[in-house]
Copies of this chain bind each other. A is one copy, B any other.
Amino acid sequence: MALPPPPDSHLADRGAEPAPERIAAELIAVIVAVTEGAPRVLTLAGAALPSGPFASEHRSLQAALRAWVEHQTHHPLGYVEQLYTFADRDRAAEAGERVVSVSYLGLTREARAAAQAGVSWQDLYRYFPWEDRRDPHAALAPVLAQGLRSWAGDAPDAMLRWERGTRVAIAFGLDGRPWNEELALQRYETLWEAGLVPEAGGTAAPGEPMVHDHRRILATALARLRGKIKYRPVVFELMPPAFTLGQLQAAVEALAGRRLHKQNFRRLVEQQELVEETGGVTAETRGRPARLFRFRREVMAERAVSGSKLPLVR
């Protein structure tokens, strides 16, 4: 049985082929925390994500990641989730070297000091300034809007112009369309294709670049986290043992990059019975003191059972 040109068939006669090619495998970690209302990410010198090789000694991919991250941050990684695996040709490190990179998203709380040289927490929006829409007056930077529009307008044929136009409009919430925070990855990819980010040779876009495709991986993590936060109680991994609903809301807003309706946010959290009062109150500087709450870990198991969205018959 013949398979497509590149690889030989492995569908049936598995014995009749040469030993499979060996390549290197590495793990890349996007470790996120929220500190005082600011989303933070663990970096190396502010330009690379922590990464490490995967070796035979490791029990599993996740075990490997957990091991060195916990050693690194001295904080248990409560929530760890596999993000995506890349092996694009342009990621080849040295000549012809092929690497498979498995990326993970981890949630934790910021440790006081990054022990190792170069290891530091950075504001996530340093890399994606356009993703922070918490300021109600925030709009897409003119440089970006301009660059995107001309990219769409410069397409060779009408069909492509239309495609790029709607793609930009949907991703960036232009032409009256709503802003969708979950499209963080599409936005970064569109900026790349439009040649607006430094990694793609552009200079127009604001935001710090990172090595290799690390900024893309970071965008993947942001998009995933923004989606997940809506149907799984993962924010709590980022909170201290006791917190006020205001702080909880601030953490969600930090990640979502948008403002939420305060009263409705409380209603949501309370009616889902995600939290319970500790009994204490905060001694904030201003305003009425807020009650302290703690996360009800018990709901974790149940909360997987969310909405159905399908018209079931009972």
Contact = CB atoms under 8 A, between A and B. Distances in A.
Interface of A: 1-12, 20-26, 44, 50-61, 64, 67-68, 70-72, 82, 84-89, 96, 98, 100, 102, 115-119, 136, 166-167, 170, 177-178, 180, 182-183, 186, 229-231, 252, 256, 258-262, 264-265, 267-268, 301-302, 304-305, 308-313
A53 B7 contact: yes
B21 A23 contact: no
A170 to B, nearest CB: 6
Q: How many copies does the complex hold?
A: 2
A256 B309 CA distance: 12
Nearest to A23: B25
B60 A89 contact: yes
Contacts of A262: 313
Contacts of A70: 4
B85 A305 contact: no
Contact of A312 (B7, B118, B259): B259
Contacts of A12: 44, 116-119
Contacts of A268: 310-311
Contacts of A21: 24, 53-56
A55 B25 CA distance: 13
Chain B CB within 10 Å, residue with most, of A6, A55, A56, A116: A6
B82 A84 contact: yes
Contacts of A301: 166-167, 170
Given A53-B21, A87-B54, A170-B305, A11 B82 contact: no
Contacts of A119: 11-12
A72 B7 contact: no
A258 B308 CA distance: 12
Contacts of A2: 71
Contacts of A4: 67-68, 70-71
B56 A252 contact: no
Contacts of A44: 11-12
Q: Which 3 A-B pairs have the closest CB atoms?
A: A264-B311, A22-B22, A230-B309
A137 to B, nearest CB: 13
A261 B313 contact: yes
11 contacts: A7-B58, A11-B50, A11-B51, A11-B68, A20-B25, A21-B55, A58-B89, A183-B305, A265-B310, A265-B311, A268-B310
B85 A310 contact: no
A70 B5 CA distance: 12
Contact of A61 (B87, B115, B265): B87
Contacts of A252: 310
Given A21-B55, A44-B12, A309-B230, A60 B85 contact: no
A183 B313 CA distance: 19
